[in-house]
Amino acid sequence: MASQDQRTADKVDLIADDLSSLVIHPDEELATTLAKVSRTPSSGFGVFATQDIPKGALIAVESAVISIPAVPDEQAAIEFCKALHQISKANLARLQSLSLDPLAWNSVSGDSVRSRIWQWCEDNLASNQGGQRKSHHELSILVDHTCRCYGIFLTNNLETGSNSGRGVYPFFSRMNHSCRPDIYEFFDTKTKELSLRAIHDIKAGDQIHSTYVDLLQPRKKRQKTLEAWGFTCQCPACTNQTFDALGERAVELDDMLEEYLFYHDDFSSDTDDDHEPFLKGPDEALGVAQELIQLLKDQGIYGESLYHTYWSASKLGVEVDDLQLALGYAREAREIEVCCVGPDRKLSDDDTVEWISYLESQIEHANENGSLSARLAHQEYEEYDPSSP
């Protein structure tokens, strides 16, 4: 008699075979005119540019076919059950057309998750429309269906923020991973839509990659995270030894800069001697920021990491009393922001447009009235209230 493990393995194989025959849902073809979903020789489906796409172009905007709120992992299955049984037939078809990773299937078909899903189905769906109670076999089929859909959800979902939860965006889900992605995805908390923008020029016919991991971490850590998707990344960042060394140095510099800024909030030097950061002053911190900027650019990392480093360099430029340097870095940060999220949105709580305008006004004032202390300008900016008359 076959063991439970063997029966589970056989079921995973059957599901994998079933998934191999899935087709592209028609709605994915309509998601954008700039790219299309096609099969790849070795990694299932992928997204390919149908024409040359310039840096900063909006490739697609889509809504989730299913989403759940931000809850602890042990509660996520229940929230998914609630969402699944309110989903439209069209969105259910789109969800079911997506891939199911064997590891995700193993997770949801185990006793722990399956029992929670079974209990929820028994409490909420045990009777048919006529009020007749479902048989054990009928309930089992319903639970199997729910488990499989939940596995697809876990395979393809995107976290949209600590307060926004998670959702599945089918067109975005078709994109394969690279540690040097081609797009930046941005979730709008007001419209509940996901926008995808090109972060560098993409040629017609090229495959468009997203990323599944935090890029500013060592290769081994990235690879460990990617094991959850069942593949080993072969992108340039993971196969080029030079990139690997640059990446290790970038992580080191980022940690140093983050530590310095944490202990010098608002550029205050009042820190506990027992927790003195490695960098001892703004000149050292600015040097680290400048080296990190170059390393990120050399590696082709473009997005939030580079944006935040430019922003830090701009604030440090003020701290070393160089308004022109601060302005230059602020403009670089704004350029990345516009590329990633468009001209009307922000990448962080910081207001780059207001900061640039303020620096420009201070430089103009200095040119008209003699030298102006950058530190004084920064102090005035921190105290400035744009709403006051």
pLDDT score at 114: 93
- The answer to whether residues 79 and 124 touch, using CB atoms and an 8 Å cutoff, is no
Q: Where are the beta strands (DSSP E) in 145-223?
A: 158-159, 166-168, 183-188, 193-198, 207-208
We find that the CATH architecture of domain 4-216 is Beta Complex (2.170)
- The answer to whether residues 188 and 345 touch, using CB atoms and an 8 Å cutoff, is yes
- CB count, 10 Å around CB of 147? 21
- 10-residue stretch averages of pLDDT, the chain, 389 residues long: 45 45 58 85 85 96 94 92 93 90 85 92 81 84 93 92 87 92 93 94 96 86 82 84 85 92 64 65 95 93 94 95 95 97 92 95 81 56 50
* Distant-in-sequence contacts of 325-333, Cβ < 8 A, 24+ apart: 326/359, 326/374, 327/356, 327/359, 327/360, 327/363, 330/355, 330/356, 330/359, 331/356, 333/307
HEC string for 47-104: EEECCCECCCCEEEEEECCEEECCCCHHHHHHHHHHHHCCCCHHHHHHHHCCCCCHHH
pLDDT score at 130: 66
pLDDT score at 12: 43
- The answer to whether residues 246 and 298 touch, using CB atoms and an 8 Å cutoff, is yes
- The answer to whether residues 339 and 55 touch, using CB atoms and an 8 Å cutoff, is yes
One CATH from 3.30.1380, 1.20.120, 1.20.1630, 1.25.40 for 240-383: 1.25.40
pLDDT score at 243: 82
pLDDT score at 202: 97
Tell me the CA distances in angstroms from 351 to 340, 346, 380, one per residue in order. Answer: 15, 7, 16
First to last CA, the chain: 82
Q: Where are the alpha helices (DSSP H) in 264-281?
A: none
As a whole number of angstroms, the distance between CA 24 and CA 77 comes to 26
54-66 as b/e: b if 16+ CB within 10 A? eebbebbbbebbb
Q: Which tokens go with 156?
A: 């393809």
pLDDT score at 325: 96
The residues, ordered by sequence, that sit 6+ positions from 109 with a Cβ below 8 Å of its Cβ are: 8, 11, 147, 151
- Rg value, the chain, Cα: 25
pLDDT score at 19: 46
Sorted by where each begins, the domain ranges of the chain are: 4-216, 240-383
Within 13 A of 193's CA, how many CA atoms are on the CB side? 9
pLDDT score at 66: 96
Longest Cα separation, the chain: 91
pLDDT score at 370: 60
pLDDT score at 71: 92
pLDDT score at 42: 74
SS3 content of the chain, % helix, strand, coil (to 5): 55, 10, 35
